[in-house]
Structure 1
Amino acid sequence: MAAQTETGPASRAGDGIYHAGSRAVQDRVGVREAADHVGRSVGRGIRPVAAAFLELQPLLVAGAADPATGAVWAAPLTGAPGFVRATGPHTMSVTGGVPADDPLARALAAPGTYTGTIALDPRTRRRMRLNGVLTPTRAGFSIEADQVFSNCPKYLQRRESFTYVDRTPGPARVSGELTAGQRDLVTRADTFFLATAHVRGADASHRGGNPGFVRVTSPRELLWRDYPGNSMFLSLGNLAADPRAGLLFLDWTAGTTLQLTGEARAEFGADGERRVRFTLARAVWRDGALPLAWAPPEYSPANPLLP
Structure 2
Amino acid sequence: MRLTLAATFVAIAGMASANPEFWEREWPNTDFTATTITDWTEIMSGGPPKDGIPALSDPSFLAVGDESTLQDREPVITVEIEGETPRAYPIRYLIWHEIINDVVGDTPVAVTFCPLCNSGITFDRRTEAGVLDFGVTGKLRMSDMVMYDRQTESWWQQAVGIAIVGELTGTTLQTLPSWMESWAQFSARNPDGLVMARPDARRAYGENPYVQYDSSFRPFLFSGEMPPHDIPALARVVRVGDRAWPMTRVAEAGELREAGVVLTWEAGQASALDSARIAAGRDVGTVRVRDDAGADLAHDVLFAFAFHAFWPEGEWMLGQ
TM-score (norm 2): 0.26
Who wins on radius of gyration, i.e. which is larger? Answer: 2
- TM-score normalised over the length of structure 1: 0.27
More strand by percentage = 1
